Amino acid sequence: MTASNNIPLPLEGVTIVSLEQAIAAPLCTRHLAEQGARVIKVERPGNGDFARAYDDRVHGLSSHFVWVNRSKESLTLNLKSEAGQGVLHRLLAEADVFVQNLAPGACERMGVSYAQLHEQYPKLIVCDISGYGQGGPYEQKKAYDLMIQSESGFLSVTGSPESDGMAKAGCSVADIAAGMYAQNAILSALLLRGRTGEGSHIDVSMLESLVEWMGYPMYYSFEGATPPPRAGAAHSTIYPYGPFPVGDGRTVMLGLQNEREWRAFCEQVLECPDLTDDIRFASNPLRSNNRGELKALIERVFAGMTLEDVSRRLDNAGIANASVNTMDQVWQHPQLSARERWLSVKTQAGVVPALKSPGLWFPEAVSEVPAVGQHSGAILAELGYCREGIEQLKNDGVI
C-alpha cells in the first residue's frame, strides 16, 4: 500500500496484532493503521469487543466502536481453546507489534506476556496498556476511565467550586492519553528495533498517562501549597479566562494571557480605559483574587451586546475567544469544512462521516469499520488454513 503521491506509507509493511477492547488500545492501533500498518484485531467469537454494545447511536452501531476501530481487520478467536492459541501464535510469529489491554494477568495466563513471548519472537514489540501498570500495589486493581480521573487528581481540579461540584471530563481522557502515549512508544520501539534488531516491552498505564497531563496543577501545589480551585469552565488561576454571558442569551469564551492583552481588553472591548490601572485588577493574581467584582463589570458591558459584537471586538483587540458549540455545531464547523477534514467511512450499517486523523494524512490507509470476524476466513487462509480447516474451526467455536 503506497500513498497517491508514490511515497511509501510510514508504517507500510508493519503488522500489528491486537487483543484490544474498549478505547485505549483500539485508539492506539487505529492511528497506527492510518499510518499504513496492518492491524489485525482479535475479538471474541459472537459479540466481539464489548465496546460494540456500549450504545447504538450510529445507525445501530456503537459510537465508541465506530470512532476507534476503522481501518482494521477483525479476526474472531476463542483463545481459551488450543486451536485458538495456535492461530494466535501463527499470527505473532509474523507480526511486528503485539498490543493488548485485557484485564491484568490475562495475557500471562494465556502464555502471551512479554516474558513468555520474547524468547520465541525476539523481534516482536509487545505493548501492554492497563489501568495502573505492571507491579506495585495497584497492579490488579480494576480500572475504568472515571476511576483513573479520580486517582490521578483530575477530578480534584475539575468542576464547579461548590463542595459537591466535582465533574468528570465529557470524554474518556485517561483512555485517550494512554492510547496516544502507547502509539508514540510503539513508533519509538520500531525505530529502536531498526537499530538493534530487538523488540521492546512497552508498559503504559492510564494512571501515569493522565498524571503526566496533571503537571501544571501538581507543580502549582508543590510542597503542600494550595492547589488550584475548581473553577467550572473558567481558568482556576488566570482571569478573565472562561465563559461570559452576552445580551442575546448566548455565551462567549475568552482568555487573557498577559498585561498587554488586559490593556487591549479594557480599551477596545470593554471601552473602559480607566479600568486598566484599577488597583483591584493591576496584575493577574489580583484579577483572579477579585474575579467576582471583575466578572460583574464585564457582564454589565456584554449585556448590551450580541455574541457577534463581542467576538468582533475581541478579534480586533487580538484576544482569544470562541463559541461554546454543541455537538451538532461541531459536525457543521466551518473551519473543519474549509480544511476538508471530513471523509466517508463504510460500516456494516452504511456509510458514516469521520474526521481525518490529525497530522500526516494518508487516505489510502483508511478503510471500513469491520463487523465481528469479518476477515477471519481471509486471515486464516493467509496463514495456510484450507477451506475445510476453516470450516472446522468455525464448527468447533474457535472462530
175 flagged as catalytic: yes
Nearest to 351 by CA among 59, 52, 65: 59
For CA atoms 70, 130, 164, 295, give the dihedral sign. negative
Catalytic residue among 56, 145, 175, 248: 175
Burial of residue 166 (number of CB atoms within 10 Å: 0-12, 13-18, 19+): middle
Phi, psi of 204 (to 5 degrees): -110, 125
List C-alpha distances in Å: 369 to 23, 58, 64, 72, 74: 15, 12, 12, 7, 9
Residue whose grid cell is 507489534: 97
- Cis peptide bond N-terminal to 8, omega within 30: no
CA distance 242 to 343: 32
Residue whose grid cell is 506476556: 113
Could you give the residue numbers annotated as active site? 175
